Amino acid sequence: MIASPYDPETHDAKRRSTTWTGYKLHLTETCDADRPRLITHVATTLAPVADRDALGSIQADLAARDLLPDTHLVDAGYVDAELLLASTRDHAVTLLGPSPQDTQWQSRQSGAFRLQDFQIDWDRKIAICPAGHTTTSWSPDRDLGRTVIRIRFSSADGKPCALKQNCTRSPRRLLTPRRREDHAALEAARAREVDGALAEQSFYPLLPAGRLLPSDGALPSPAAGHDRPE
């Protein structure tokens, strides 16, 4: 849909409670505690472009100008398992920001079995549940543009299992972790957030260089764990 007859590439967009018609701006800014704050990169994308889809070109531009930070502090929209790996692999940059969280009901219910409660044998391509049952299938798939592994247990094991109420509301449990390397990167990022002491040190005084601000220009809230160091 054309939002403006004067510029057909403008789009209506919404970010949290902010709505606008136009484009999306991505700013990279230094945040050394003992140095002036400087904007080192500005990128403009179409409004519908996801933040994570802009990160690769932003880091490539910074690398071409020798302005890449050792640690890139970013908003949640720029953090994804594949981007965590790519930042390290392509640029030797640590991508640091709120990681995507597990949204399954098991992660919110006390005593329920989360993905972390299953033993995953990546080499043998099997998983073992807390009750000791082994998976019956393992197959790569795509979900929302990302590669996942669909790991299924047998309904013959699931239906009569005494632990079923803590595991699944379906006849059998389905696990969908990312690929092995992506899964490890995502779990490591989540562990950094759980470790409050590490987060306190990493997010503030130990940041040597730049950050990628949210594309609406608003600073992340302190509750997100990465506001500006004072």
Domain count for the chain, please give it.
Answer: 2
pLDDT at 27 over 50: yes
Question: Is 95 found in the same domain as 134?
Answer: no
H or E element that contains 55: helix 51-64
Amino acid 1: pLDDT:
65
Rounded-to-integer distance, Cα 211 and Cα 199, Å = 16
| Residue 21, CB-side half-sphere exposure with 13 Å CA sphere | 8
pLDDT at 197 over 50: no
Amino acid 34: pLDDT:
84
pLDDT band at 212 (very low <50, low <70, confident <90, very high): very low
Question: Is 164 found in the same domain as 116?
Answer: yes
Determine, yes or no, domain membership for 176.
Answer: yes
**Range name among 12-26, 128-142, 208-222 with the lowest pLDDT average:** 208-222
- Cβ-based neighbours of 23, under 8 Å, separated by 6 or more: 9, 10, 44, 45, 46, 47
Q: Which domain holds residue 145?
A: 105-180
Distances 41 to 10, 27, 153, 182 between C-alpha atoms, Å = 22, 6, 48, 28
Amino acid 125: pLDDT:
96
Rounded-to-integer distance, Cα 190 and Cα 146, Å = 18
Amino acid 114: pLDDT:
95
Please list the residues that pair with 15 across neighbouring strands: 18
Question: Is 206 found in the same domain as 162?
Answer: no
Structure tokens at 152: 């299924």
Determine, yes or no, domain membership for 45.
Answer: yes
Do residues 135 and 226 make contact, with C-beta atoms less than 8 angstroms apart?
A: no
Question: Is 110 found in the same domain as 175?
Answer: yes
User: Average model confidence (pLDDT) for the chain?
Assistant: 81
Amino acid 7: pLDDT:
81
Question: Is 124 found in the same domain as 96?
Answer: no
pLDDT at 36 over 80: yes
Read off the DSSP letter of residue 115. Answer: G
Q: Measuring CA to CA, which residue among 36, 76, 57, 26 is closest to residue 190?
A: 76
- Which amino acid, 228? R
Do residues 15 and 35 make contact, with C-beta atoms less than 8 angstroms apart?
A: no
Question: Is 116 found in the same domain as 73?
Answer: no
Rounded-to-integer distance, Cα 140 and Cα 150, Å = 6
Rounded-to-integer distance, Cα 126 and Cα 122, Å = 7
Question: Is 96 found in the same domain as 187?
Answer: yes
Q: What is the mean pLDDT of residues 179-205?
A: 70
Determine, yes or no, domain membership for 169.
Answer: yes
Amino acid 196: pLDDT:
55
- Helix 81-91 with 51-64: angle, nearest 10 deg: 10
Rounded-to-integer distance, Cα 112 and Cα 78, Å = 30
pLDDT for 71-120, tens place per residue? 888 888 889 999 999 999 999 998 888 888 888 999 999 999 999 999 99
